[in-house]
Amino acid sequence: MNLNLNPPFEIRPADIMAQLPTQFFATLVGNVSRLTAQGHDVINLGQGNPDQPTPAHIVARLKEAADNPQYHKYSPFSGYSFLKEAIAKRYKEDYQVDLDPETEVAILFGGKTGLVELPQILLNPGELCLVPDPGYPDYWSGVALARAEMKFMPLVESNDYLPDYSAISDRDKERARLMFLNYPNNPTSADAPLSFYEETVAFAAQHGIVVASDFAYGAIGFDGHRPVSFLQAEGAKDVGIEFYTLSKTYNMAGWRVGFALGNARIISLINQLQDHMYVSLFGGIQSAAAEALTGPQDCVRDLVSVYQSRRDAFHDALKGIGWNAAKPTGSFFSWLPVPKGFTSVSFANLLLEEAHVVMAPGVGFGAHGEGYVRAGLLSSEERLQEAAARIGKLGVF
């Protein structure tokens, strides 16, 4: 039936939709799709999507759990206790951090969900959040949805890509109610020492700022180094929480399993919000996630070894074409300075159009990302070496 409405019926989005930041990675995917559709062989180093399969024993647990009628019903709203106990056990073994599974662990639909939820839980419109620059763009999304404000904390090489709290104005220190940190860092791949987290706890306590530590790459440290958890710092649970995800540690990005860990009051608020939005994860996935956390951890060590080998092969190949950059100490990203005469966008566009190699322009992660591109170590050594060879043929180094 055609109503022939005059004037035509109009769908008007809420004002907040216009305030959301552009989805940076969706643009990258679009560029890759365009060139692939034209028949080009594209080497995509622009995204953070793990390329290895989920370990077989985790997949086997899911297959088994899918036959369990218990999991065909709604899961408990805040998730099964066995999964929260599994993450608490893993943190105790890996980081010597004690967590109460029922009051200090919240199950998330992937780490990104928690990162976007947190500003809406803690910030009123107009209140201030401190975010790293460069940093993960979805921090901005959560702040926008809360109708709050952001203040960027520059991360620069001369300060080991750590924020300088002394450079934050007194007014912003007093206005801020939330702060995001992320180490091993995306996009710079920098790591943070325990002393930095101890400084952070003292800073947060003095100014009443909740700390949100994004520990997505916490399992990926190179040359025998294990990244430090924010929760290892004394007093960390008094001032904040940490986000952890199975996406990177166990190649489970598509499974969407993450956790918020730490301050019991914040955990209860996350569960309260999620009670209105979800009925927890499918029980079979929770069972498989518990298997990942409590089962053999050889798969994690093997994965880190793969990334380290790729890192070495890639950076050796880059050095061979005259592109000198520090090797990452953690995460699965390389943070690479662009050659003189280019911006991060113009150089990324050159790589895309002329070499058919995709890298993420640093400015997409914030103003202080200008002058760099980010490459993911998420292709085989051979493809990474081929990417370097293609770039070498451009003659810009």
d(C-alpha 362, C-alpha 338), whole Å: 9
Amino acid at 39: G
- pLDDT, average across residues 130-158: 96
**H, E, C per residue of 83-107:** HHHHHHHHHHHHHCCCCCCCCCEEE
pLDDT, tens digit (0-9, with 9 covering 90-100), for 186-197: 999 999 999 999
Is 143 in contact with 119 (CB distance < 8 Å)? yes
* Residue found by looking up tokens 């091993």 in the block: 184
d(C-alpha 203, C-alpha 176), whole Å: 12
d(C-alpha 121, C-alpha 146), whole Å: 8
Quote the CATH superfamily of domain 15-53+299-392: Aspartate Aminotransferase, domain 1 (3.90.1150.10)
pLDDT, residue 2, reads 64
| Res. 32: pLDDT tops 90 | no
For the chain, the straight-line distance linking the first and the last C-alpha, in angstroms and rounded, comes to: 64
Architecture of domain 56-294 in this structure: 3-Layer(aba) Sandwich (3.40)
d(C-alpha 259, C-alpha 104), whole Å: 10
pLDDT, residue 180, reads 98
Structure token pair of residue 178: 């939330």
| Res. 1: pLDDT tops 60 | no
Residue 295: exposure state from Cβ atoms within 10 A (0-12, 13-18, ≥19): middle
The residue ranges of every structural domain in the chain are 15-53+299-392, 56-294
- Beta strands of 70-187 (E only): which ranges? 105-108, 128-133, 149-154, 176-182
Q: What is the DSSP letter of 224?
A: T
- Beta strands of 187-315 (E only): which ranges? 210-214, 240-245, 258-262
Same fold, 15-53+299-392 and 56-294: no
Structure token pair of residue 63: 């297959």
The CB density around residue 250, as the number of other CB atoms within 10 Å, is 26
- Average pLDDT over all residues of the chain: 95
pLDDT, tens digit (0-9, with 9 covering 90-100), for 188-221: 999 999 999 999 999 999 999 999 999 999 999 9
Is 48 in contact with 333 (CB distance < 8 Å)? yes
* C-alpha distances out from residue 148 to 195, 254, 268, 312, Å: 30, 30, 22, 42
Bridge partners (DSSP) of residue 131 are 152
